Amino acid sequence: MKNKILILEDEFSIRSFMKLKLKSLGYEVIDFDNSREALNFCDEDVDVALLDVMLPDIDGFEVCRRLKVAFPDMGIIMITAKGSEEDIVTGLNSGADDYIVKPFGAKELEARIASVLRRVERIKHPEKKEKSIETVGVFTIDNMKKVVTKNGEVIGLTPTEFLLLKSLIENKNSTLDRNELLDMVWGDDYVGDSKVVEVNIRRIRQKVEDDPSKPQYIKTVRGYGYMWSHES
């Protein structure tokens, strides 16, 4: 079965380029030039959505937030303007899994989508060798349902956040540097930078820590990376 990709981009030349390239790679592609149509036609069969930030009706950040609520397992890649770090951070904070900066080439587009699809597949089909349920202190990881709970309460996580939190918990009391986390979650062929790790860590802290400004669980090891600190 072909993976289904949604493109939301109002610039015709960019949208056409992406559509032709992705179809040539064997993907099923649906494309839109406005947000309302994309939101109305989007369904759970979409594996990855490519969302431009600047759109004529609803901006890409809001579309991302709505899609993540409706389809939490969907992979989302934001298409941002060159050098706009604010757009990148805002997109990741909205729940996006990755970003791609204009102008971009066919090889980068292919690599970004392949990387996100691998994470989506890991969420949908966990490795058989994994325990179905893992418990660390007040946290429980359900690998079948792709859910993490704290004191029995479900923590709302995106697929990327789930994999990142799972990686930290399973390596509790061990420091993982940013490159190690990139390899574990985004894959060793990821073409981005460590900014995605930092933004996702901030998002997860907002969800798991009692006081995110004074993290009890996800500790920063300055100059190196992060550690899940927990006494079991």
pLDDT in tens, 142-200: 887 888 999 999 998 887 888 899 999 888 889 999 888 988 888 777 777 777 888 88
Residue 82: is its pLDDT beyond 70?
no
When pLDDT is cut at 50, 70 and 90, the band that residue 25 belongs to is: very high
pLDDT, tens only, 91-116: 888 888 888 888 899 999 998 898 88
- Is the pLDDT reported for residue 129 higher than 60? no
Contact 53, 61 (CB under 8 A): yes
Lowest mean pLDDT among 57-66, 118-127, 179-188: 118-127
Which pTM value belongs to this model? Answer: 0.74
Distant-in-sequence contacts of 120-123, Cβ < 8 A, 24+ apart: 120/47, 120/48, 120/73, 120/74, 120/75, 120/159, 122/163, 123/73, 123/159, 123/162, 123/163
10 Å Cβ neighbour count for 155? 15
Mean pLDDT of the chain: 87
